[in-house]
Amino acid sequence: MRARRSDARRNHDRIVEAARALFAECGLATTVGQVAERAGVGKATVYRSFPTRAALVSSMVGQRAEWMSERLRLALRAEDAWAEFRAIVHDTMARILEDRIFGQVVAPPPRPDAEVVAGFDATLDILCARAKAQGRMAAAVTPGDVRLLVSGLAMALAAKGDTDERSWRRGADLVIRACRHGEDEKGQGRR
């Protein structure tokens, strides 16, 4: 019995590792068959660990959501909310470039796995409110706007196969400019 449990645990770990790598490479296009093949197990073994493909996707999104939750919590500790907001946008775009499923984490609702990332908007809303109070962020910006801008740019860059880090940094800068409060006389937004 212990040998069977040990075997099941090893298979589960191989499945999770294979899924993590495949979802990072391929995003939501990853299939259960691909995960099984990479893990060196049958599809039925994958389904014993994850009863549905949706459960597998939710697990992969949940792993990435942990990073995002921690990153947002750290941002709330900083004095300069705008600097933290800018850093989060850059960090998030960099993560999506490296890990395609991460784009699902920041995508705006409606989403099938909304409960996995439910706390993001509330935490992001606090950070945005602080940046607005400091006079750095446009009053009309919402967490949903930020999600839409980041995920939309990321999807567009990914769709055209652009993996140039400079393009993704430029995308982050565009999001930041769109959220910044005020413009100076030359059309250069305040930093």
Enumerate the domain spans of the chain.
1-51, 62-191
CA-nearest of 145, 150, 140, 143 to 173 is: 150
**Is the omega angle on the peptide bond into residue 51 within 30 degrees of 0, that is, cis?**
no
What was the pLDDT predicted at 114?
63
Q: Domain 62-191: give its CATH code.
A: 1.10.357
At residue 108, the pLDDT reads: 67
Choosing among 2.20.25.240, 2.170.190.11, 1.10.10.60, 3.40.50.10890, the CATH entry for 1-51 is 1.10.10.60
In this prediction, residue 190 carries a pLDDT of 46
In this prediction, residue 118 carries a pLDDT of 65
Distance separating alpha carbons of residues 173 and 18, to the nearest angstrom? 33
CB-CB neighbours of 176 under 10 Å = 21
- Paired strand residues for 183: 189
| Tens digit of each residue's pLDDT (9 = 90 or more) over 107-142 | 766 555 666 566 777 889 999 999 999 999 999 999
- Residue 108 DSSP one-character state: P
Q: What pLDDT digit, counting tens, does each position of 17-68 carry?
A: 999 999 988 888 899 999 999 999 999 999 999 999 989 988 888 888 888 8
Q: What is the pLDDT of residue 185?
A: 30
Question: Which pLDDT score, from 0 to 100, does residue 138 have?
Answer: 96
If one compares 60 and 85, the residue with the highest pLDDT of the two is 85
The per-residue pLDDT for 116 is 59
Q: Which tens digits make up the pLDDT trace of 162-191?
A: 999 999 999 999 999 999 997 443 444 444
Is the confidence at residue 152, as pLDDT, over 80?
yes
